[in-house]
């Protein structure tokens, strides 16, 4: 017997509980194969839990591809535009045949609340890339961030320092560093098959300058549809105008974008990957006039040509016939690759006989996938740096941004790659950063 505040276990109750337990054991219980890690799916405890920040345009493409990875589980999406976040939610829910994907309009709320998320895709407008990466890594997330990864050198360095301090995995979306044709050309240069490289070309078909004016003010939409203050983020306050938001109109304005880094975020990284940069201390930029190809010289004597031509990025040129190309020239031959190729361009057909071997040697030596997204997820598991690590990103972006500054000042410049500062030019040094609008600061 017990007092009135306790539970009395009578003989009848004991027998009833025993019967219920026996019947529960006897009843069949269905467990989906995917929950057990069968059918090619990872078990829940082994899955990488993902969320996305910036789900329009490139973000929607990346989401679709990442959803094909069997060891990844998407649980939340975030976009300042309601239409974009709702569309992304539907894509995720349709993939998993449920309604579980959470939606957020402010990445700060998303990062604070979703402690279950292991990694995030960041595919916002360029103005948010660096800050969103820093905030996500501080919140304990690994980051796949689309390019260009920063608007300024200071922002790029903040990404590097944050990844180091918090021990996070970071991959920037320079995906051609993992694509077979580009890897082949890069490896021909890196391995010495072309002889000592003397000239490398990077496709930097930047725009005819960026606008520095403002669009006229228009009535802001409801915050639920678009929070304009959050959309602007760290950029200077500008009045709302649909022309910024619709069709990527922001892309043409200095407040929100970069110039050379539009393509150079890809191609300069590709060019540098084929070179031994360990002994390169500085780079000289030669100003050749507005809209002109810019010749730069590394301190080891290699010439890096930031190639520029008017017209479509798909227009042919003398170095490649597609977009986002790079080319390496040495005394023993040359090799190039660009988008849309059925195979790399080489100076001698004999080089192509080694195509499979070169790629096999690369994957054996590096233990990397020829799939940029897969490299990111593999590195989340191994905790080793990605192929497009923060340091790779920062060095290539610094060169692009230094070229932008050379164009703005319209004079030759010399840049210290190790210290990330200009030599003997205080005005150029001041342009390495931009003011970030409170509270959107690192």
Query: Which CATH number belongs to the domain containing residue 198 in this structure?
Result: 3.30.360
pLDDT at 341 over 90: no
Instruction: Show the domain range for 330.
Output: 176-209+258-380+391-430
Q: What is the pLDDT of residue 5?
A: 40
Query: Residue 25 domain-assigned?
Result: no
Query: Is there a single domain that holds both residue 111 and residue 205?
Result: no
Rounded to the nearest integer, the mean pLDDT of the chain is 90
Query: Residue 435 domain-assigned?
Result: no
Residues β-bridged to residue 346: 335
DSSP 406-420: HHHHTS-EEEETTTT
Query: Is there a single domain that holds both residue 96 and residue 164?
Result: yes
Query: Residue 106 domain-assigned?
Result: yes
- Give mean pLDDT, residues 128-154: 98
Closest Cα partner for 306 from 191, 291, 276?
A: 291
Query: Residue 191 domain-assigned?
Result: yes
Query: Is there a single domain that holds both residue 205 and residue 128?
Result: no
- Give mean pLDDT, residues 7-12: 41
Query: Is there a single domain that holds both residue 112 and residue 195?
Result: no
Query: Residue 436 domain-assigned?
Result: no
**77: Cβ–Cβ under 8 A, 6 or more apart, which residues?**
51, 52, 55, 63, 85, 88, 89, 92, 101, 102, 103, 104
Confidence tier at 10 by pLDDT (50, 70, 90): very low
pLDDT at 157 over 70: yes
Q: What percent of the chain has pLDDT over 90?
A: 81
Confidence tier at 290 by pLDDT (50, 70, 90): confident
Confidence tier at 243 by pLDDT (50, 70, 90): very high
Confidence tier at 208 by pLDDT (50, 70, 90): low
CB 166 within 8 Å of CB 269: no
CB 114 within 8 Å of CB 102: yes
Q: What is the pLDDT of residue 68?
A: 97
80-84, 129-133, 232-236, 247-251: which has the minimum mean pLDDT?
Answer: 247-251
Domain boundary among 148, 172, 196: 172
pLDDT at 313 over 70: no
Query: Is there a single domain that holds both residue 157 and residue 186?
Result: no
CB 69 within 8 Å of CB 373: yes
Q: How far apart are the first and last CA of the chain?
A: 65
**66: Cβ–Cβ under 8 A, 6 or more apart, which residues?**
50, 72, 74, 121, 373
Q: What percent of the chain has pLDDT over 70?
A: 87
- How many CB atoms are located within 10 Å of the residue 25 CB? 8
Query: Is there a single domain that holds both residue 198 and residue 135?
Result: no
Confidence tier at 230 by pLDDT (50, 70, 90): very high
Going from the C-alpha of 387 to that of each of 64, 69, 269, the distances in angstroms are 22, 19, 10
Query: What is d(CA 130, CA 438) in angstroms, rounded to the nearest whole number?
Result: 15
- Give mean pLDDT, residues 344-356: 96
pLDDT at 256 over 60: yes
Query: Residue 369 domain-assigned?
Result: yes
pLDDT at 1 over 70: no
Query: Is there a single domain that holds both residue 88 and residue 136?
Result: yes
Q: What is the pLDDT of residue 42?
A: 66
- Over the stretch 23-80, which tens digit does the pLDDT of each residue have? 444 433 344 444 445 455 566 678 999 999 999 999 999 999 999 999 999 999 999 9
pLDDT at 317 over 50: yes
Query: Is there a single domain that holds both residue 306 and residue 421?
Result: yes
Domain boundary among 145, 172, 199: 172
Query: Is there a single domain that holds both residue 122 and residue 203?
Result: no
Domain boundary among 172, 191, 217: 172
More confident: 193 or 248: 193
Number of domains in the chain: 2
Query: What is d(CA 150, CA 144) in angstroms, rounded to the nearest whole number?
Result: 13
CB 269 within 8 Å of CB 396: yes
Query: Is there a single domain that holds both residue 163 and residue 181?
Result: no
1, two tokens: 């017997």
More confident: 4 or 240: 240
Query: Is there a single domain that holds both residue 156 and residue 189?
Result: no
| Helix pair 153-166, 390-409: axis angle to 10 deg | 170
Query: Residue 27 domain-assigned?
Result: no
pLDDT at 88 over 60: yes
More confident: 37 or 323: 323
Query: Is there a single domain that holds both residue 97 and residue 181?
Result: no
- Taking the whole predicted model, whether its pTM rises above 0.85 is answered as yes
Phi, psi of 421 (to 5 degrees): -150, 155
Query: Residue 228 domain-assigned?
Result: no
Phi, psi of 79 (to 5 degrees): -155, 140
CB 160 within 8 Å of CB 390: yes
**What's the CATH number where 149 sits?**
3.40.50.720
Exposed e or buried b per residue across 351-374, where buried means at least 16 C-beta atoms within 10 angstroms of its C-beta: beebbeebbeebeeeeebbebbbe
């Amino acid at each position: 017997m017990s007092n009135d505040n306790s539970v009395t276990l009578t003989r009848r109750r004991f027998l009833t509980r025993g019967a219920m337990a026996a019947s529960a054991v006897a009843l069949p219980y269905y467990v989906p194969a995917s929950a057990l890690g069968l059918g090619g799916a990872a078990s829940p405890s082994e899955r990488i839990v993902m969320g996305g920040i910036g789900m329009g345009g490139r973000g929607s493409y990346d989401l679709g591809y990442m959803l094909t990875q069997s060891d990844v589980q998407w649980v939340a999406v975030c976009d300042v535009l309601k239409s974009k976040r709702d569309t992304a939610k539907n894509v995720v829910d349709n993939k998993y045949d449920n309604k579980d994907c959470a939606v957020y309009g402010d990445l700060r709320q998303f990062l604070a609340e979703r402690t279950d998320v292991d990694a995030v895709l960041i595919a916002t407008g360029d103005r948010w890339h660096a800050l969103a990466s820093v905030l996500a890594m501080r919140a304990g997330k690994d980051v796949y961030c689309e390019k260009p990864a920063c608007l300024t050198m200071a922002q790029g360095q903040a990404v590097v320092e944050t990844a180091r301090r918090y021990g996070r995995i970071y991959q920037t979306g320079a995906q051609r560093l993992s694509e077979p044709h580009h890897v082949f050309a890069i490896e021909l240069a890196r391995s010495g098959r072309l002889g000592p490289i003397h000239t490398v070309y990077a496709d930097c078909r930047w725009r005819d300058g960026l606008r520095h004016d403002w669009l006229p003010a228009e009535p802001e939409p409801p915050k639920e549809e678009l929070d304009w203050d959050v959309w602007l983020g760290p950029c200077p306050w500008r009045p709302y105008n649909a022309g910024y938001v619709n069709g990527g109109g922001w892309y043409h304005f200095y407040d929100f974008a970069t110039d050379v880094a539009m393509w150079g975020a890809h191609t300069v990284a590709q060019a540098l990957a084929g070179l031994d940069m360990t002994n390169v201390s500085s780079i000289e930029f030669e100003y050749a006039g507005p809209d002109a190809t810019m010749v730069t010289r590394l301190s080891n004597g290699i010439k890096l040509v930031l190639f520029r031509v008017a017209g479509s990025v798909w227009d042919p040129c003398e170095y490649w016939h597609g977009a986002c190309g790079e080319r390496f020239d040495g005394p023993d031959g040359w090799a190039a690759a660009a988008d849309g190729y059925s195979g790399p361009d080489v100076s001698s057909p004999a080089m192509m006989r080694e195509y499979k071997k070169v790629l096999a040697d690369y994957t054996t030596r590096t233990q990397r996938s020829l799939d940029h997204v897969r490299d990111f997820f593999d590195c989340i598991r191994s905790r080793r740096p990605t192929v497009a690590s923060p340091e790779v990103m920062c060095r290539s972006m610094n060169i692009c941004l230094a070229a932008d500054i050379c164009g703005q000042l319209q004079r030759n410049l010399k840049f210290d790659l190790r210290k990330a500062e200009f030599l003997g030019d205080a005005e150029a040094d001041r342009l390495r950063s931009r003011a970030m609008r409170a509270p959107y600061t690192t």
